[in-house]
Every structure is written in structure tokens, then in C-alpha cells.
Structure 1
């Protein structure tokens, strides 16, 4: 069982079979996505192709919410790849979610973070190795799949506590009926919040023998992936994820990687970089991304990239860009406005680029 590299993603054959059940032909999706028909049989595709396929499915079915619910409820569990199939045979909902979070690492570009606090369990979706988020329908399918996992595994009509989406997801009332809870659009992130008590519910589909067969192969694939992925990429990903929480110091990152401080420093040196340099690169990139969002003020941006005070952020940004964050933001907005005017709004402008 081989893992996929950062920009090589496997589309399970079960996906195409699921589309057929919905009356959507695979070749129609390929054409709509602007891809050759051979993509249907490709062992792996690029992130751009992966996103294009999902967007094509959304366009063909019409409404994003409809596409999410139809595929989440109509997909045959038996057609899932081993990484997902193993979760359906876990001991309980908590075990299943932990397995899903763990094995999701084998299926970029999506990543899941799970947090249990009080009476809630929150699962946040992140996009890895991409300069942009995935199509809204893929975001919705990923979170719906997590609730569907609990429903099918426990055999109970579980509902979520709250769901948040960054993009517009179409028919919000249909989604609220499906998730059984309020839906918030335009949020800062994509999150599914469950009732923590539901995580203790046992799975009627628990199969210890099947797990004993699947788990070693999946764990080995995950280990091979972690060993082969560059330490630089892994460190930058952890830094980006942990900036706001203030857990991006050397000790915290080394602990998460299962390495000593000295070993981490040595491996970064072997890749011709340093922890300090990577932290600077991540903060710089995130600062540009956040400043492109006019809804965030400068203080918020400083906090989001791990600075305790605004002055420290100003000093750092001047070193990076030769200007203050405020001036840089104004110049970027002027530049985008000029481009839109010159091209009559017919181009897709990527902020901050």
C-alpha cells in the first residue's frame, strides 16, 4: 500500500461508482473539469486536477448543498478505500474519528484536527500543500462524511451540535436538516462540532479481525510517508497550524515530531535551513495572506501569526516588505482595483500575489 505525495492524490474508484448511482457519468465529470477521459483510470492526480473534478461534480449536480447530501448519504460504505473503511469497523465513534484523523494524513490535501472540550468535540478541516482552499462541495462532503461515519457506525440518527463553513454552501436549510443543527456560513474556518457524549457510542459495525488485518498496513504506509516527507515541510506545516496558539517554539515542534531538540536542529541543517528561518518564512507568508483579508485588523493579524504585540509585528514586516502592514495592504488593494478596472473584471485576481 503506497501513500500519495503532496501533489499526487488518489481518487478511489468508489467515487466514480458513487457518481453513477446519482446518475452522473464519469466522462461528463472529466469533460466538465477540462480533463482527459483517462483521468478516470489514473492511479493518482495532481491537487489541481483533484479540485477540478470535485468542482465539476458540484457544477453538474447544480446546488452545492444538494451535491454534499446526495453523495454523503448515497455512497456505499463498502466502496471506501482501506483508509476510510477501517474507521467504519472501529470500536466506537471516538476510536473511529481518531483513526480517521490519523489516516487522513495518507490522503492529502485534506487534514483534520480534533479537539474535545467540555460537552463538545470539534473537528476542523485544513488544506495542506495548497495555495487555496478546496471547492466548497469537497469541504462539505468531508465534514458530512464524519457525521455519516457516526450514524452508520452506531446505527443511530446522530446530529451535530454546530457546523461552520467559510464558503457559501448553497441551500443552508437543506444542510441544517441534514446535519440537524444550525449552520454558519462565512466563518473563519470549516468545523464540525459534535456532542462529546456521542463519541462513547459503540459501533455496531465493529470488526476486530478486519481491523487487525487493515491496521498494520495502514500504519506502515503512514510511517513510510512520515519518514520520506522532508523535515522542512513537516516543520512548516506544524508551525502554520500552531502559530495562533503560541506552540511554534522549537521544543513544541520537536515534541510533536517525536524528535529531540538537537535532532530536529541537525536534520534542518542537513536540509540547509534552520528553525528560525522557517518560522520567519511561515510568519511572512501568513501575514501576507491575512492582510489580504480586509475584515482582519492589524492587531488580529499580529496575533494570528504569533506576535504578542503589534510593534514587534510592525518591525518584522518592515524587514520583510520594506513597508508597514497598513501601507502594504493599501497598495495591494489599489493594485487589485487597477487590475480589475483594466481587465473589466474578466480575470480571477488572487489576493496578495
Structure 2
């Protein structure tokens, strides 16, 4: 996936940190990157994370840094993909566009779910096993709320928010989001009031969207066609399994194609949907079992098995042992090392 190891870095970031009194060259040096990184249009995933970590290190408190940069980032510095969300018809349209066009600029990925009175937006990572710095996680989710506030012109509040990592002064963040914040969760997730998604955007610009949308869609289609379909399927499976085991038609639908077309493309790449599903389940099983905070019974459900016996049988085929024995041996080996 070499072609996706380059990330479009927003020029507005450097203007934003400058407004906060931090010189861009200080960030570059803190990240141990050459000063030319400031003018580079794209960076690697490692450089991307290093820049965000450097900004975090230069700020006294992560929470303060999240709010300051989120609110100081001016709309005139928005890249085209973000402009298409800011000038959307309403908050729902803006969020859907954000999730879609985020694919043009990995590694962040957004999964939006509407159910009952809530809308949840979960942050995940594309094409990397590494999680982004706390600062990046916080700003990504904070900006989604900020987008709604700027677009509607109303002081919207979140319903709840969960972070997997420490985010600095929790009270500062709760004041900004207007809700309770939970730290140390298994995901990074923003929950909104679903009714807010119907609010129209005062910044709606139909003419601009008619110009931006076809260009962005064309770029996205071109990027998707250049990707390995195998890697795309594995990523969708990894993201979807905690909610149940998706079939090939479901995955194909997310990729905008039929199940038959997807299977043909996978065959062309020398693999199959069933094989990739097994690969992803096996990898996730090892990852979750290596984390003692996950109950073994929970692991089976997290990788899409409806009953524990099916999970145990599959794991014995993969490892020749039970999940419990594998975990004990693995944890003991790590403690010795």
C-alpha cells in the first residue's frame, strides 16, 4: 500500500499554530523533521503522526491544545474536501460528506451510525495498525462538533464522548463539548443528538457544491480504483466485525459494486472473500487475546462469532490450542521478555 503512505497535510495547520504563538519551525524541530516539511504538500503517516505529537508536546495541556487549534482554524484555510462539508445543505449532509471525503486523506476514517435519538461517529484508522496521537484524536472529533456549530450558527452540544487515551484536563473538554467524557474506553467515539443533524447550514452554498462535488468524487473514484481491493476488503471487515459478521454483498455495497464483481476482483488478486474473512478474524483474535483487559468470551463476539463454540473451534484450527491457553502462554512469554 505504498501509494497510500502519503497524506495531504492541511496548510491551515501551520497558520493555526502560528496564531497560537507557536512558530511552525518549532513544531518541525520538535518532530525531528526537516524544515522543508512545512511546505510539503504531502507527508508520510509517520511524519503526520510526528507533527501532531510535536504540537501536543509544545502545548501545556492536551485538552487546551485541542480546543485552541479547533476554534482558531479559520474557514478560509479549509481545503476543498472540508469546504464541501462546511457549505453542505445541513449537518447530516456535512457529516456524510466528511466521512466520504476523509478517504482522500487517510489515515483517519469516520464511521457514522444513526439509531433512535442518537448519531454516533467512531474514529478509526486507514491502512495503519498504529493509533494516532491523543491530540489528533481529540481534534478530529472536536472539529466534527465545531463544523456543526459553524455551519448551523448554533451552540450545539454533544450527547457524550468516549476516548481510549488520556486527553489532559477532562473538565476543560467537558466544558467545550457540553457533555460527560469517558476516558479509557475501547474506542474513540462522538455521540450527537440526532435531531441536530436536521438543522440547515447557514453556510450552505449550492453553486460552490456543484463545482466541488464532481471534482472530489472523481478524485475519490480514481483513488479507490488504484487501491488493492484485498486491502480495502480487509479494512472494511476489521471495522465491521464487532457489529456482526458481514457477508460479501454488504462489503461489496460499501465499495459501490455487486457481490459478483467483488468476488471477481478478489479472484483476480489471487484470493477470496472467505479467505480474507478468516485472515482478519485470526489477526484480530490474536490482537484482542494479547490484551488482558478483554474477556475471552467477549473476543469471539468482537470478531463476528455468534457463539463461543464456533470461535473455539476456529481458534484451535489456527493455533492448535484453546484461546485461554494461548493467552496464558503469550502473556507469560511477554512478561519474561
With the shorter chain as reference, the TM-score category is over 0.9
Q: Are 1:106 and 2:108 matched, yes or no?
A: no
**Distance in 2 (alpha carbons) for counterparts of 1:244 and 1:255:** 18
What is the correspondence of 1:46-85 to structure 2 with a 5 Å cutoff? 46-85=44-83
TM-score with structure 1 length normalisation?
Answer: 0.92
Moved over 3 A (4+): none
> 1:166 and 2:164 equivalent?
yes
Larger mean CA deviation between 246-255 and 12-21 belongs to 246-255
1:290-324 deviation line (CA, Å, top 9, x unaligned) = 11221211110011101122222222222222322
Aligned match of 1:12: 10
Unpaired runs of 5+ in structure 2?
A: none
- 2:302 matches 1:304: yes
The one of 187, 198, 210 equivalent to 1:212 is: 210
- 2:87 matched to which residue of 1? 89
List per-residue Cα deviations over 1:117-150 (Å, max 9, x = no partner): 1111111111111112100110000000000001
Q: Deviation at 1:247? A: 4.0
Query: How far is the alpha carbon of 1:157 from its aligned partner?
Result: 0.9
Where in structure 1 are there 5+ consecutive unaligned residues? 340-353
Name the structure 2 match of 1:265: 263
1:203 paired to 2:201: yes
CA offsets, 1:203-254, max 9 Å, x none? 1111111111111111111111111111101111111112122242222222
Partner in structure 1 of residue 227 of structure 2:
229
Native 8 Å contact 1:125 1:189 kept in 2: yes
Is the contact between residue 9 and residue 45 of structure 1 (CA under 8 Å) also seen in structure 2?
yes
Structure 2 Cα separation of the partners of residues 319 and 247 of structure 1:
19
RMSD: 1.4
202-211 or 314-323, which deviates more: 314-323
Name the SS for the 1:133 alignment partner: coil
| CA–CA distance in structure 1, aligned partners of residues 100 and 257 of structure 2 | 19
**C-alpha deviations, 1:78-113, integer Å up to 9, x for none?**
101111111111111111111111111111011111
Alignment partner, residue 351 of structure 1:
none
Aligned mates of 1:337, 1:25 — CA distance in 2 = 43
Q: Distance in 1 between matches of 2:120 and 2:248?
A: 27
Aligned residue-pair number: 336
User: Is residue 312–residue 322 contact of structure 2 (8 Å, CA) maintained in 1?
Assistant: yes
Which residue matches 1:42? 40
